[in-house]
Structure 1
Amino acid sequence: MKHISIALCLCGMILMNTSCDNYDDTYPQEYEKILSLQTTGEQAVDLYKTGEATNYSITVIKSGSQPTLTASAHIGAMDAVNFEKYISERGLDYVAMPANCYSFNMEELDYSSAETYKIINLQLNTNEIEIFEQTLEEGQTCVLPIMLTSTSDSILADKNTLVLKPEIITPSLSVTESSSGTVTKYLPQSGGTIALDLGLQVENQWNFTCKVAIDETTTTLEGATLVSDIISFEPGNTSSVQVNIPKFTKTSGNVGIKILEINGKDGFEFDTNPFILVASVEKYSLTADMLSSNAIEPSEGSLANLLDGDIGTYFHSAWSVSIADKHYVQVKLPVSTKTFRFTYTNRSNNGNAALAWFNLYTGTNENKLQLYKRFAWDEDGLPSGAAGVYVSPDVSIDNAANTLRFECESNWTGGSFFVWSEFSLFILSE
Structure 2
Amino acid sequence: MKRILYITVLAGWMLCNTSCENYDETKIPEEYHKVLILQSAGEQTVTLYRTGEDSRYEMCIIKAGSENGLSAEAQLVVDEEWMDQYNEDNAEHYVMIPSEYYSFDTQNVQVQGDEQYKLLNLTFKTTNLDALISNNPGKKYALPIRLLSDNTTVSTTNNYVILQPSIVVPTVSFAKTGYQKTAITAQSSNPVSIEIPVTLPLDNKWEFECTVKLDKEWLDTYNTKHGTSYQLLPDASYTLQKTCQFAIGSNSSSIRLEVDRNNLSLGDYALPVKLESCTQDGFDLDENYYLAGISYLPPQIPLTLDMLSSNATVDGDGTGLTGLFDGLGSGKHYHSNYAGAVIDATYGHYIDIHLKTPISSIMFNYHTRYENGNGDPTEIIMYTSNDGQAWTKLGTITKTGLGGNAEYASSIFTAENKFAYWRFSVTKSAAGDVTNGAYFNLGELSIYGE
When normalised by structure 1's length, the TM-score is 0.78
Could you give the per-residue CA deviations for residues 208-263 of structure 1, whole angstroms, max 9, x where no partner exists? 22332222213522225443333333223432222233433242112112233222
Deviation at 1:391, TM superposition (A): 5.1
Q: Which moved more, 1:185-194 or 1:146-155?
A: 185-194
Stretch of structure 1 that moved more, 66-75 or 15-24: 15-24
Corresponding residue of 1:154: 153
8 Å CA contact 1:284–1:424 kept in 2: the answer is: no
Query: Partner of 2:48 in structure 1?
Result: 47
Q: Which residue of 1 aligns with 2:122?
A: 122
Letter in 1 for 2:42: G
> What amino acid maps onto 1:341 in structure 2?
M
Aligned residue in 1 for 2:393? 372
Q: Which amino acid aligns with 1:161?
A: Y
**Counterparts of 2:153 and 2:195, CA distance in 1:** 58
Q: Quickly say closer, same or farther: Cα 1:149–1:183, change in 2 above 3 A.
A: same
CA deviation string 1:124-150 (max 9, x = no partner): 3322321322342x3322222221110
Correspondence 1:259 to 2:275: yes
Residue identity matched to 1:241: I
Q: Which moved more, 1:185-194 or 1:115-124?
A: 185-194
Aligned residue in 2 for 1:173: 172
How many angstroms apart in 2 are the aligned matches of 1:33 and 1:14? Answer: 17
CA distance in 2, matches of 1:307, 1:122: 64
Structure 1 residue 92: deviation in Å? 1.5
Shift of 1:32: 2.9
Bigger shift: residues 156-165 or 236-245: 236-245
The one-letter amino acid of 2:417's match is N
| 1:304 positional shift | 8.0
Deviates more, 1:209-218 or 1:38-47: 209-218
Distance 1:319 1:53 in 2: 71
**Offset from partner CA, 1:42-68 (integer Å, 9 cap, x none):** 222221122223333222112123333
* Mapped partners of 1:13, 1:332: distance in 2: 70
How many aligned positions are there?
Answer: 409
* Equivalent-residue separation in structure 2 for 1:312 and 1:135 (angstroms): 64
Question: Alpha carbons of 1:135 and 1:112: their partners in 2 closer, same or farther (altered >3 Å)?
Answer: same
Q: Distance in 2 between matches of 1:353 and 1:22?
A: 55
1:272-291 aligned within 5 A: 272=287, 274-281=289-296, 289=304
Which of 65-74 and 315-324 deviates more? 315-324
Deviation at residue 347 of structure 1 after TM alignment = 4.5
Partner deviation per Cα, 1:157-204 (whole Å, 9 max, x = no partner): 1110112222111112221123xx332223334663322111222243
* 1:235-293 CA-partner distances (Å, limit 9, x unpaired): 23432222233433242112112233222x11111145643222223585566658856
Q: Which moved more, 1:304-313 or 1:118-127?
A: 304-313
Aligned-pair CA distance for 1:312: 8.3
Give the Cα–Cα distance (whole angstroms) in 1 for the partners of residues 335 and 421 of structure 2.
Answer: 19
> 1:197/1:302 Cα in 2 relative to 1: closer, same or farther (>3 Å)?
farther
Give the alignment partner of residue 182 of structure 1, picking from 179, 190, 197: 179
**What are the ranges of 5 or more consecutive residues in structure 1 without an aligned counterpart?**
1-7
**1:314–1:420: 8 Å Cα contact kept in structure 2?**
no
Q: CA deviation at 1:93?
A: 1.7
Over the aligned positions, Cα root-mean-square deviation in angstroms equals 4.0
1:195 equivalent in alignment to 2:195: yes
Letter in 2 for 1:407: S
Q: Which amino acid aligns with 1:164?
A: L
1:360 aligns to 2:385 (yes or no): no
Distance 1:210 1:405, change over 3 A: same
| SS of aligned partner of 1:82 | helix
In the TM superposition, residue 358 of structure 1 has moved relative to its aligned partner by: 4.2
Determine the structure 2 residue equivalent to 1:5: none
Letter paired with 1:242: R
Deviations 1:61-83 (A, max 9, x none): 1212333333211124x212111
Kept in 2: contact 1:316–1:417 (CA 8 A): no
Contact 1:338 1:401 in 2 (8 A): yes
Q: Does 1:32 align with 2:33?
A: yes
Q: In the aligned structure 2, how far is the partner of 1:392 from the partner of 1:403?
A: 18
Is the partner of 1:131 in helix, strand or coil? Answer: helix
Query: Tell me, what secondary structure is at the counterpart of 2:217?
Result: helix
Structure 2 equivalent of residue 139 of structure 1: 138
- Aligned equivalents of 2:18 and 2:357: distance in 1? 59
C-alpha separation in 1, matches of 2:195 and 2:376: 38
TM-score by length of 2: 0.75
Q: d(CA) in 1 for partners of 2:18 and 2:288?
A: 48
Distance in 1 of aligned mates of 2:123 and 2:322: 60
Aligned in 2, Cα 1:141/1:113: closer, same or farther, shift over 3 Å? Answer: same
Do structure 1's residue 413 and structure 2's residue 432 form an aligned pair?
yes
Name 1:316's counterpart in structure 2. 334
Supply the distance in 1 between the matched residues of 2:332 and 2:57 (Cα, whole angstroms). 52
State the 1:345 CA deviation: 5.1
CA spacing shift, 1:336–1:241, aligned 2, 3 Å: farther
Deviations 1:386-410 (A, max 9, x none): 3587654431113335654423445
- Matching residue's letter, 2:141: C
User: In the alignment, is the contact (CA less than 8 A) between 1:257 and 1:277 conserved in 2?
Assistant: yes
SS at match of 2:63: strand
1:210 is paired with a residue of what secondary structure?
strand
Contact map agreement 1:382 1:390 (CA 8 A) in 2: no
1:227 aligns with 2:244: no
Pick closer, same or farther for the CA change 1:386–1:368 going to 2, 3 Å: same
The equivalent residue for 2:23 is 22
Distance 1:155 1:417, change over 3 A: same
247-256 vs 266-275, which deviates more?
266-275
Aligned partner letter, 2:106: M
Taking only the aligned residue pairs, the percentage that are identical comes to 24
C-alpha distance in 2 between matches for 1:342 and 1:399: 19
Higher mean C-alpha displacement, 84-93 vs 349-358: 349-358
Give 1:399's aligned residue.
Answer: 417
